[in-house]
Amino acid sequence: MEQIQFHKNGQWTLTKSEPKLIGKTESGKAVYDKFSHPAHDSFTKQDHLNAANLHHGLGTKGDLGQAMHHMKAAGIGGKIPQPIPKKAA
């Protein structure tokens, strides 16, 4: 994964980092801090809900954005409900 960091002096830095494992879905699929990983392509609706709950539990701004991404992928767009549903409808 690549990340560009812009500095106040007009310079920028490109860094590469491996995704960080934050947990697993109930079906055993790996959930990483960013959704751009190979396992993400095979997530079911339930996997997305599990991932959204994992990200939401971490509570950082970036994780809340990741939770929103998984909610949209699970077909529950808009705002993140409180609490996020545990089971797919």
The first and second tokens of residue 3, run together, are: 């990340």
pLDDT of residue 86: 66
Residue 6 to residue 53: CA distance in whole angstroms: 31
pLDDT of residue 28: 94
Contact 25, 17 (CB under 8 A): no
Q: Taking each helix axis as running N to C, give the angle between helix 61-73 and helix 45-58, from 0 to 180 degrees, rounded to the nearest 10.
A: 170
Q: What tens digit of pLDDT does each residue of 58-77 get?
A: 766 677 778 877 888 888 76
Q: What tens digit of pLDDT does each residue of 7-37 get?
A: 888 888 877 777 888 899 999 999 988 777 7
Q: Which residues contact 72 (CB under 8 A, 6 or more apart)?
A: none
C-alpha to C-alpha distances, 87 to 6, 26, 27, 53, nearest whole angstrom: 40, 10, 12, 11
pLDDT of residue 27: 95
From the CB of residue 87, how many other CB atoms can be counted at a distance below 10 Å? 9
Q: Give me the residue spans of the domains in the chain.
A: 19-89
